[in-house]
Homo-oligomer: A and B are copies of this chain.
Amino acid sequence: MSGGAADSRSVAEKLFAIADAFVGRESLSLSDIAARARLPLSTAHRLVAEWVAWGGLVRGDDGRYRVGMRLWQLGVRQPTALRLRRIAMPYLEDLLEATGEHVHLAVRDGLGAVYLERLSGPGAVSAISDVGSRLPLHATGVGLVLLAHAPTEVFDEVIAAKPRKYLPNTLVEERELRRRMAEIRSFGISTSVEELTRGAFSIAAAVRDATGEVVAAVSVIAHVERVGEPQFALGVRMAARGISAALGYRPPSD
């Protein structure tokens, strides 16, 4: 119940805090929502009722709340996600067929890599990424590629936010990260080994649109034992090139 009296947030901010409570959660009780949104139970009750009346949240037979079809309908029309996913899908499917592990398509959103799509083979390595996940730029293959091509202010913000060292291999020092960014820009590909998930490696490459800007990244996450197999780097490169071409990108040498 703390924060009720001194809460200077607007009604809109409180409503959005309730929505944010659902990130990474399938269902929440009213008291979970109140705690996560830092609202008194009575306020949470009133504002959750507004979400439910609209259809943005639904209350299940178990009394718990879930994201409703209304939010799905709105979100699914997000133009970037819709267009990129649609254009990329055949290339991602080819990449899945060539590798049999996890295939990702992600875009940068602030200091996070947001996963627009994940396709997975039946024996794929265990990985925390999923459709809709938002993972840190410095610790994921797609994130490092997106960071390497982001404005320099983004890099400065990542450093200022003190990137977390998830595993011994996670790069967190400014100097190391700068070196990796330069490598990615010159090789056109990023290879990460056990930087976020034990037992997994990732190969990622940038997707460009017709203006040449990097708008997304594609990656494969696979069992670390397979790190030397050539089809990963080749497949990721081909997928990134194919999606870029489908978006209208023409390499300078054309």
Which residues of B are found within 8 Å of A77, using beta-carbon distances? 22-24, 26, 67, 131-132
Which A residues from 145 to 186 make CB contacts under 8 A with B? none
Residue from B19, B55, B66 in contact with A79 in the complex, judged by beta carbons closer than 8 Å: B66
Which residues of B are found within 8 Å of A70, using beta-carbon distances? 109
Which residues of B are found within 8 Å of A134, using beta-carbon distances? 73
Closest B residue to A119 by CB, please name it. Answer: B89
| Given A12-B47, A54-B12: A26 and B79 interface contact (C-beta under 8 Å) | yes
Q: Is the CB of A72 within 8 A of B67?
A: no
Determine if A80 is an interface residue (Cβ-Cβ < 8 Å).
yes
Copies of this chain, count: 2
Q: Is the CB of B73 within 8 A of A76?
A: no
Q: Is the CB of A78 within 8 A of B74?
A: no
Determine if A81 is an interface residue (Cβ-Cβ < 8 Å).
yes
Q: Is the CB of A69 within 8 A of B73?
A: no
Q: Is the CB of A74 within 8 A of B22?
A: yes
Closest B residue to A19 by CB, please name it. Answer: B74
Closest B residue to A107 by CB, please name it. Answer: B69
Q: Which range contains the number of A residues in contact with the other chain?
A: 35 or more
Alpha-carbon distance between A47 and B15 when the two chains are bound, in angstroms = 12
Determine if A27 is an interface residue (Cβ-Cβ < 8 Å).
yes
Q: Is the CB of B76 within 8 A of A131?
A: yes
Which residues of B are found within 8 Å of A253, using beta-carbon distances? none
A11 to chain B, nearest CB (A): 4
Most chain B beta-carbon neighbours within 10 Å: one of A13, A73, A74: A73
Q: Is the CB of B114 within 8 A of A27?
A: no
Closest B residue to A73 by CB, please name it. Answer: B132
Alpha-carbon distance between A236 and B55 when the two chains are bound, in angstroms = 30
Closest B residue to A109 by CB, please name it. Answer: B69
Which residues of B are found within 8 Å of A19, using beta-carbon distances? 56, 74
Which residues of B are found within 8 Å of A75, using beta-carbon distances? 67, 71-76
Determine if A40 is an interface residue (Cβ-Cβ < 8 Å).
no
List 17 interface pairs A-B (beta carbons < 8 Å), by A numbering: A11-B11, A11-B12, A12-B54, A19-B56, A19-B74, A26-B77, A26-B79, A66-B78, A69-B81, A69-B107, A69-B109, A69-B114, A70-B109, A72-B75, A74-B132, A75-B75, A75-B76
Name 7 extra pairs, CB < 8 A, besides A75-B75, A82-B131: A10-B50, A11-B12, A13-B53, A26-B77, A67-B74, A67-B77, A68-B78
